[in-house]
Structure 1
Amino acid sequence: MADLLISSPANPRLKTLVALRRRRTREDTGHTLVEGFEELSLALEAGVVPEALYYCPELMLDPAAQSAVVDRVRRDGVETVQVTRAAFEKAAYREGPDGFLAVVGAVTRRCADLAVGDAALLLFCEGVEKPGNLGAMLRTADAAGADAVIAADPVTDWGNPNLVRSSKGTVFSVPVASDPTADALAWLDDHGIALVATTPDTDVDYTDVDYTGPVAIAVGAEKYGLTDRVLAHAAYQVRIPMVGKANSLNVATSAAVVIYEAVRQRRRSTAPH
């Protein structure tokens, strides 16, 4: 059976896709968008089964290989819809689309749904506002082999299309959860996970702390940092030394610096002597 073909930018189905850019629509429908071949491929590898796949052959960068992915998804029983270039660019939310846009189930998970081991390594992000920063931290968590990323008192949702894009699809491969800060802190306590809070208001350098046990590295909102509640709850407060004119790093960069110190320590502790 031939795929449905959409050629009009005013097609009602495309308007439905555009509506998923809004958080309220995502929450009401339980769906979100994955745009981009690379992001879709990672989501598929993580076991995500799309509700529908919209594709545009005119925009494909590698038509032979990418058409094979469309065929694979179609064989899995997913509805595949071919879209002309003008219509696809109407639905796409990124500049320079590559012809892939999928509707998938939104990621909704609480801390209680996470399964972590005895030496868990987590990122704890309190009140982070920008989807791009959360997405960048997910990519870092994926690269570092972190066990999970927790959004405490989140301002954005894990299904934000810009977060999905900036994470390169790792929001589907790295376990994530959202909870109020108090609930997330209680969950850490219940699992014996020490909290290491990043803040400029301490004399302890981030390299002076032991990260080889179960630990969550906490970063806060872009403008104000971590709340007093999280700072007071932390086993350690650490700083990243700053010698330049600026007095802070981007929150995603700060998270990357500290989590890779944890990775370095853990590799050293398990290396043969």
Structure 2
Amino acid sequence: MYFCGVKEVKSISSTQNPLIKKILLLKEKSRERKKTGLFVVEGVREIELAQKGGYTIKTLLFSPEIASSFSSNPISKNPTIEYIQLSKSVYEKLAHRGTTEGILALVEGKEHPLENLQFKNPNPLVLVAEAPEKPGNIGALLRTADAAAIDAVLIANPRSDLYNPNIIRSSVGCVFTTPVGMGSTEEILQYLKHKSITIYCAALTASKNYVECNFQGGSAIVVGTEASGLSETWLQHSDQNIIIPMQGEIDSMNVSVSAAILIFEAKRQRGY
């Protein structure tokens, strides 16, 4: 593989190389990601979305036996990135996906304070997820948020590191495309009230059918965990509890499915 404008491409052929051990730690340990400020992104699309989202790519690692088509990509011509060629066996040690493109990157993480969020929409639509813990669900929520082009996802009392590889993978890179804010439940409640955003809590009690609600003004759709739902604090500060009527034997759905239904109803009302 040829990298235009790159003077030097290093090579690694041993899984005992210190950098390879570091990358494995970054994939496996949240504390290592927090300590170094780095995380791992695998796949061409995900790396491109990270760059598009304003993330800094520090190192690009590739297996030339697999990634032969990547040399035409703009990322492959960036002289500020360190490029490292891996043997196929080393790359396979690092890669999670079997159908991967032979590319992964070390990327610099970002902070996600609420005050950094800026809404272009005067009536923003945001999704709030309280204490989500399953990376797959978080990734699915972020993917839905991107699909609907909502204004932000707010994570209250986060239990999972946003740069967990399973979140990146299940979001198909949408963790990089949607503005994310993090804080405690109390901080997010204060933020929403300051922004005059109406709070709609998905809950089973004292609830109104979601299709009967008006989401055209600034709206926050708030979802909890599948196991325990929303905390009492959210329910106490809810402007309106909302429900998706069930027609079968169960009384709830997967949180990402429920959020998608609610979000796209809000988008429908807004004429999108």
**TM-score (ref. length: structure 1):** 0.92
Distance in 1 (alpha carbons) for counterparts of 2:36 and 2:76: 22
The equivalent of 1:195 in structure 2 is 199
Matches within 5 A, 1:1-273: 1-21=7-27, 22-60=29-67, 63-64=68-69, 66-69=70-73, 72-116=75-119, 117-267=121-271
Amino acid at match of 1:214: G
Aligned length: 264
SS at match of 1:42: helix
SS at match of 1:156: coil
Cα distance change, pair 13–74 in 1 and its aligned pair in 2 (3 A): farther
Amino acid at match of 1:82: Q
Contact 1:49/1:78 (<8 A) preserved: no
Q: What displacement does 1:102 show?
A: 0.7
**TM-score (ref. length: structure 2):** 0.92
Amino acid at match of 2:33: R
Distance in 1 (alpha carbons) for counterparts of 2:178 and 2:255: 19
Distance in 1 (alpha carbons) for counterparts of 2:222 and 2:169: 23
Amino acid at match of 2:93: K
Distance in 2 (alpha carbons) for counterparts of 1:114 and 1:199: 27
Unaligned runs of 5+ in 2: 1-6
Distance in 1 (alpha carbons) for counterparts of 2:77 and 2:32: 26
Q: What displacement does 1:37 show?
A: 1.2
Find runs of 4+ consecutive structure 1 residues off by over 4 angstroms: none
Unaligned runs of 5+ in 1: 269-273
Amino acid at match of 1:20: L
Q: What displacement does 1:7 show?
A: 1.2
Greater mean deviation of Cα atoms: 36-45 or 228-237: 36-45
1:106-135 deviation digits (Å, cap 9, x = unpaired): 132111111124210100000111111111
